[in-house]
Amino acid sequence: MKKTIRIGTRDSELALWQAHTVQKKLIALGYNTEIIAVKSTGDIILDKPLYELGITGIFTKTLDIAMLKGEVDIAVHSMKDVPTSLPKGIVQAAVLERASTLDILVHKGNLDFLNASGIIASGSLRRKAQWLHKYPTHEVEDLRGNVNTRLQKLKDNLWNGAIFAAAGLERINLKPDTFINLDWMIPAPAQGAMLVVAMENDVFSLEALSKLNDRETAICTYIERHFLKTLEGGCTAPIGALATIQNENIYFEGALFSLDGKEKIYIKKSCNFAEYKSFGKDCANEILTRGGDSLMKELRKQLK
């Protein structure tokens, strides 16, 4: 009898959309599948900022445990939520073709606040730091919850706007008309990409998922995540990174910020395909030598 691939996912609307996308692709290739949804700690505890919870991979840990216990065969994640070091026995099996990497500001129809005082909301230290870097007189409120919850909180509060990943809103058709693209904001490493992981000894699932892997997205996210890993940032540090491929070259921009946005250490470089495996690490090491090392030490103290 042909094996049924059990697909583990969080139970939010966006996470389920991602899992169903993988399911459809596997079914089209002739595989039998089943979706198993679980609730993560990051979905349950919504009254604290992520960095205060002190758990690496807060949105992925529950699925990691389910895989290690043999309750699911594979797990589908927003790649930007996944720690740069996977648990022992679990490996990256496929990175799907990337969607938009943009952050967007969802607002209430009036943008006058951009030139005055304003209050915007985001649960991301990266977004907060970059917003305060550009708009130092503004306030940034913490915003947690799944996409639907955050959109409702924006309606219910007196905030001027809130920052979202464009890809998440587009995937479940929740992107409103009142938004602007924040093309100046450097996205989270691997933003817009979906990652599927499997057990390293599960030859059947690994072979099936290899057919879903998008090479260009896999290369770009590899660079971005090695940049993050070398800075030792974890998923919540104010670090942005974006690699893109144009013709035969790979272009990269990355930055490390202080929490208040006042400090920014930025890098922009390119390389060819032969050099990509060390490219993210090399860019991060340059950031560290240009003051990033002391800034990271300060961030670790502040985020304890």
The 3-class secondary structure across the chain, one letter per residue, is: CCCEEEEEEECCHHHHHHHHHHHHHHHHCCCEEEEEEECCHHHHCCCCCHHHHCCCCCCCHHHHHHHHCCCCCEEEEEHHHCCCCCCCCEEEEEECCCCCCCEEEEECCCCHHHHCCCEEECCCHHHHHHHHHHCCCCEEECCCCCHHHHHHHHHHCCCCEEEEEHHHHHHCCCCCCCEEECCCCCCCCCCCCEEEEEECCCHHHHHHHHCCCCHHHHHHHHHHHHHHHHHCCCCCCCEEEEEEEECCEEEEEEEEECCCCCCEEEEEEEEEHHHHHHHHHHHHHHHHHHHHHHHHHHHHHHCC
pLDDT in tens, 191-230: 999 999 999 999 999 999 999 999 999 999 999 999 999 9
Per-residue pLDDT at 237 exceeds 90: no
Of 263, 246, 235, 240, the residue nearest 182 (C-alpha): 240
Q: What is the pLDDT of residue 52?
A: 44
Per-residue pLDDT at 131 exceeds 60: yes
| Measured distance between the N- and C-terminal CA atoms of the chain, rounded to whole angstroms | 51
Give the residue-averaged pLDDT of 6-20: 94
- Known catalytic residue at 293: no
Contact between residue 25 and residue 212 where contact means Cβ atoms under 8 Å apart: yes
Q: What is the pLDDT of residue 57?
A: 57
Q: What is the pLDDT of residue 62?
A: 87
Q: How far apart are CA 250 and CA 272, in angstroms?
A: 6
Greater confidence, 215 or 232?
215
Q: What is the pLDDT of residue 49?
A: 52
Q: What is the pLDDT of residue 60?
A: 82
Of 178, 165, 164, the residue nearest 111 (C-alpha): 178
pLDDT in tens, 37-82: 987 654 444 455 534 433 345 668 889 888 988 999 999 999 998 9
pLDDT in tens, 242-272: 999 998 899 999 999 999 999 999 999 999 9
> What Cα–Cα distance (Å) separates residue 78 from each residue in 5, 10, 25, 81, 83?
19, 10, 17, 6, 11
Q: What is the pLDDT of residue 38?
A: 85
**CA angle, 44 then 46 then 52, to 5°:** 105
Contact between residue 243 and residue 193 where contact means Cβ atoms under 8 Å apart: no
Of 107, 92, 76, 98, the residue nearest 10 (C-alpha): 76
CA atoms within 13 A on the CB side of 143: 28
Per-residue pLDDT at 170 exceeds 50: yes
Do strands 74-78 and 4-10 pair parallel, antiparallel, or not at all (unpaired)?
A: parallel
Q: What is the pLDDT of residue 50?
A: 39
Q: How many CB atoms lie within 10 A of CB 39?
A: 11
Among the options 43, 64, 73, 81, which is catalytic? 81
Across the chain, mean pLDDT equals 92
Q: What is the pLDDT of residue 51?
A: 42
Q: What is the pLDDT of residue 145?
A: 87
